[in-house]
Structure 1
């Protein structure tokens, strides 16, 4: 029996060795793949993605390929443990976090064990990563100290590294005649001429912090809005989504939260030559020019907005004014999927230059400074009603004041006649 257990032990050790062989790191490249070994510590700064991003890899193949073009050379991995190989059979297991120069943590999925907190290095960059708005990414109650993070990578423009969901790219002089990159007037006219339907919205969250569903319900009283997504059980593919945008004049880019700088892929469907309708104009300040989109809070009611939109569907020249961005910006996408290689390159630069950064209190910065407006659409929908009531009250006060003055004059006249 003891020979059986010994054999079983050898088998388990063999499996463990093969596992380590597959998932350890490489020192022969700036890209740490999962099929090579470390025979010595990394020579370049080491960047560790301690968590995944909604179960997806930060360093997928497209990112790693683009990072080869980065001016600064770092090693990237998502493995928290690796092995130094000594000869054929000898190896040493090493925890990667204490060795890392940069550690990336997705805010939603990070609540550190005590072992992490006890291994702090003032020279390490602990990166707070989030592309979600505060109402859906709260961190209050987490166990890390307020100054645990010293670098932020978020959609907010006051982050250490700002990661927009997308952005416009200016047309260079030498690119203006390249129809692969630039929209020709004829192309724009042809696409607009094919549009027949009013507006479309793609939604997954049914009950939102912004209460966008309330505004949608009100708007649907006056115009037909096509709804796709989980909320109505009608999910569609990316290709079907593109086809829908070709048919519609407008896309409702209603975010689940109205927070400063929170502009997601919903707005950036604009690159499919469709005019986006946003909830609040000021959210786009510094991100997109006012003349490229329509904002619900510019109108005193959903009815008034619907009338304006219906007018634009019948006047192509007026509608195309919102597509004037095509004369200034490229039609290509800023990036595909979650390819944030340029931002990881920036992290590599910071690590290489040994830059020092601090965030005094991540809880205050993320939650107290978020500038979000819950139930924003309720305020917009009732703003006109409140204004109307105020105007009526003012008229009543003016009329009351007029008759009150007449009454005072009458009393004064009677006193003078006595």
Structure 2
């Protein structure tokens, strides 16, 4: 069969069409990367962190950062040139509070979700009245947050429970932020005459190095897991790390007992609100026999403590929640919500 001759004009038309297609594809890819960055595949969410929390220089964020935390198709970036194309933009409150950064309101793309982030106590969170009607989602330790990221949680684990550390002290407290107006300080003042409490930390000029913290706490039967203020769901590393991970019984001061029981078994801690006085609390702790004491660790036979340690992991949680988040939501009274 003889070949078919294609007219030159037709070949030129196909060449032009092919070039136009390539240009169109290139333009479609442009919004997905910033200057000097590699292209990001379509379907990958880009989360722009406007200012990395508590630091002047942002960390390196490899492309597989979120994949390491089990969240694929999610890219974290601090490149502000991505503002126009980011799927969500994150603002940590501390930098807004001390005015180290400003909201780019004039450059905000229509419909772009903005995420307000704070893991601090409402007592030490100021200036929220400046941000009414701006943020769409909240990332915090509050259980009713859009992106709920607690300080820690219990997860099922296999294998025998680790042995309890040997104990040679009664109670210990590690504290740096020490003010007489705090309820925890007042409670400590009332408790100390009836209970031997060793105090470490900057407040007592007995700081502990990072590697010294858990071994020191582990020598005591009880740890005073006293929060600096009492607010909804505000349960910090004082419970998860300082007490449960160390292998000691937490004596907690924070939200009501029911809130703690939503996160840990009811027999894993002692709540100060269960007693009519600090004298009664002290007598209960000192009088606890060995069988009673060990019953507070039955959770270790089934669970392990998992802490959320890095901001990378917390920010990757935005992608995990993204498909389920309300697109038309706006916090008109962020201060009223958070200060409750």
Mark the CA change 1:228 to 1:354 in structure 2 (over 3 Å): closer, same or farther.
closer
Mark the CA change 1:309 to 1:285 in structure 2 (over 3 Å): closer, same or farther.
same
Match of 2:151 in 1: 165
Match of 1:76 in 2: 76
* Aligned partner of 2:329 among 350, 353, 358: 358
Query: Does 2:133 match 1:133?
Result: no
Match of 2:50 in 1: 50
Match of 1:250 in 2: 222
Query: Does 2:287 match 1:311?
Result: yes
Tell me if structure 2 keeps the 8 A contact 1:123–1:354: no
User: Separation in 1 of the partners of 2:177 and 2:70?
Assistant: 37
Match of 1:96 in 2: 82
Which structure 2 residues correspond to residues 272-311 of structure 1 after superposition, within 5 A?
272-279=246-253, 280-311=256-287
Q: What secondary structure sits across from 1:105 in the alignment?
A: strand
* Aligned partner of 2:136 among 133, 150, 163: 150
TM-score by length of 2: 0.78
User: Separation in 2 of the partners of 1:281 and 1:133?
Assistant: 18
Unpaired segments of 5 or more residues in structure 2?
1-28
Q: What secondary structure sits across from 1:128 in the alignment?
A: strand
Match of 2:26 in 1: none
Q: More deviation in 211-220 or 70-79?
A: 70-79
Tell me if structure 1 keeps the 8 A contact 2:48–2:76: yes
Which structure 2 residues correspond to residues 334-413 of structure 1 after superposition, within 5 A?
334-335=306-307, 337-341=309-313, 343-349=314-320, 356-361=327-332, 362-367=334-339, 370=340
Q: What secondary structure sits across from 2:171 in the alignment?
A: strand
Q: What secondary structure sits across from 2:156 in the alignment?
A: coil
Mark the CA change 1:292 to 1:63 in structure 2 (over 3 Å): closer, same or farther.
farther
Tell me if structure 2 keeps the 8 A contact 1:47–1:101: yes
**Deviations 1:168-221, CA, capped at 9 Å, x for gaps:** 0023xxx2xx3xxx415xx23xx2xx2010100111111176421111111111
Unpaired segments of 5 or more residues in structure 1?
1-26, 81-94, 371-418
* Aligned partner of 1:183 among 143, 161, 165: 161
More helix by share: 1
Match of 1:10 in 2: none
**Deviations 1:22-81, CA, capped at 9 Å, x for gaps:** xxxxx9xx9x99xx923768754321111221227786669954535645413321232x
Match of 1:327 in 2: 301
User: Separation in 2 of the partners of 1:214 and 1:288?
Assistant: 26
User: Separation in 2 of the partners of 1:40 and 1:240?
Assistant: 44
Mark the CA change 1:115 to 1:256 in structure 2 (over 3 Å): closer, same or farther.
closer
* Displacement after TM superposition at 1:271 (Å): 2.2
Tell me if structure 1 keeps the 8 A contact 2:117–2:138: yes
User: Separation in 1 of the partners of 2:69 and 2:103?
Assistant: 35
Mark the CA change 1:38 to 1:318 in structure 2 (over 3 Å): closer, same or farther.
closer
User: Separation in 2 of the partners of 1:114 and 1:292?
Assistant: 43
Mark the CA change 1:281 to 1:267 in structure 2 (over 3 Å): closer, same or farther.
same
Mark the CA change 1:74 to 1:237 in structure 2 (over 3 Å): closer, same or farther.
same
TM-score by length of 1: 0.65
Mark the CA change 1:149 to 1:243 in structure 2 (over 3 Å): closer, same or farther.
same
Q: What secondary structure sits across from 2:215 in the alignment?
A: helix
Mark the CA change 1:353 to 1:164 in structure 2 (over 3 Å): closer, same or farther.
closer
* Displacement after TM superposition at 1:232 (Å): 1.1
* Displacement after TM superposition at 1:327 (Å): 1.8
User: Separation in 2 of the partners of 1:121 and 1:213?
Assistant: 47
